[in-house]
Structure 1
């Protein structure tokens, strides 16, 4: 086979493989758009059941380990506060997806210096004491954090990222094998994927979670503008100086600007909830 013909043939195989991989993905609409208008369709290769099983296993192991270390729900007042805020937020999740009302929500406070919080698929929430203590968060600011994390679960961002990585990994491996680029070439393709697709998609997930989070907070009667003051505080304690284009999160200034716009958009919901 002539070199040109061989290259054309292999390129066609790569393209055919890509089409097969993409056709294996399901296009879904995980949430309603809400007042903030998050209505991007998502492509999933991994089923919700598959991810939920993995998440439940990880969650059970993590909570058991934290309990063993004596880090689970040590401060009763903090636990009561975090759970009260979370309950008001989860009561509003039906605006974005009705099935979330039936999730088995759980809320825990973990004693750690880390400034962090998360919500696993299916509604398993954890807030770290480092976030509460180091930032001296108000209830409105804490609602912004928890609302943001709940939004990730509602939008199934973890499932979307896992699906994206599975497709990309398969495509890169197939392409590298067919084109004979070797390990170095495959590594270059992986770096290109992260720079052009992977990281920007992560930033889009963060933006979606910010916007949904402020709406959840507003509907629950928490001032959505607290998301802005929260990230101003985050900026003061963060030691991460990674440029935005290499980070999975938007830059602090870009995030604050977007949150300012969307918190104002949902102010009528907050004002209505406060009546």
Structure 2
């Protein structure tokens, strides 16, 4: 096979989500292995945060995030089609960093800055939570890794994961977020899927999906928003907000049915 044909085949495979997941399996990044690796990374993140006294387990911000996490987790379980049971865990880190991410198997990390700096309502926190949970449920990390394998093979480059801003935190949180968390924006479509799935998940849990729009409107107004950690991988733009508005009616129908 000549180089041009090989590149064409690889490019086509990158575009296919199932293709990326299959490549990840072939590269040893199957779902069970990824979930186990993410658990180890999450535990290391928690231990490091404990030693640095940056793990939040008692503030009012933590309690709000944790209550929403616990309320949404059972609904997330009903949407799990990965073939692997998720062991949902939450870590809230004390930092002004405006960020949140998820690692395979349901390991969610929130920075207090995203709630405090944006003055988020519970519904808006649920919008962030639903978005991140959907990333895990649809195994976007696995697809990202498969795409990375293909990209490395096609262009002959080395490791190129995109890290998150640290906010003065330890390396374990950065490693978990950049290596197995959803961070590399190789496909805008994955973000759209997480947005749409997040709307439905928060609606099922009884949170108003319209808060997803106000969340991203707040994001866009942040000083220096273009350089923020969350916006570097979760681009907030007019097209994205408009897409959310188009998906709102279906989510609102689910939400209103609960009332």
Superposition pairs for residues 232-247 of structure 1, below 5 Å?
A: 232-241=217-226
Match of 1:43 among 5, 20, 31: 20
Output one character per residue of 1:203-245: Cα deviation in whole Å (capped at 9) or x when no partner. 1111110100010011110000000000111111151448xxx
The answer to whether structure 1 residue 212 and structure 2 residue 201 are counterparts is no
Output one character per residue of 1:124-171: Cα deviation in whole Å (capped at 9) or x when no partner. 112111011111111100000011010111111111111111112112
Contact 2:55 2:93 in 1 (8 A): yes
TM-score, structure 1 length as denominator? 0.71
Gaps in structure 1 of 5+ consecutive residues: 1-11, 28-39, 174-185, 188-198
The answer for the alignment partner of 2:211 in structure 1 is 226
Match of 1:90 among 66, 69, 73: 73
Output one character per residue of 1:172-230: Cα deviation in whole Å (capped at 9) or x when no partner. 23xxxxxxxxxxxx79xxxxxxxxxxx87421111110100010011110000000000
The answer to whether structure 1 residue 121 and structure 2 residue 98 are counterparts is no
What number of residue pairs does the alignment pair up? 223
Distance 1:92 1:100, change over 3 A: farther
Superposition RMSD on alpha carbons, in Å? Answer: 2.9
Contact 1:225 1:264 in 2 (8 A): no
The answer to whether structure 1 residue 169 and structure 2 residue 152 are counterparts is yes
The answer for the alignment partner of 1:35 in structure 2 is none
TM-score, structure 2 length as denominator? 0.75
The structure with the larger Rg is: 1
CA–CA distance in structure 2, aligned partners of residues 99 and 89 of structure 1: 18
CA–CA distance in structure 2, aligned partners of residues 251 and 83 of structure 1: 25
CA–CA distance in structure 2, aligned partners of residues 134 and 117 of structure 1: 13
Distance 1:200 1:80, change over 3 A: closer
* 1:113 counterpart SS class: coil
Distance 1:120 1:100, change over 3 A: farther
* 1:208 counterpart SS class: helix
CA–CA distance in structure 2, aligned partners of residues 97 and 63 of structure 1: 25
Match of 1:137 among 98, 102, 120: 120
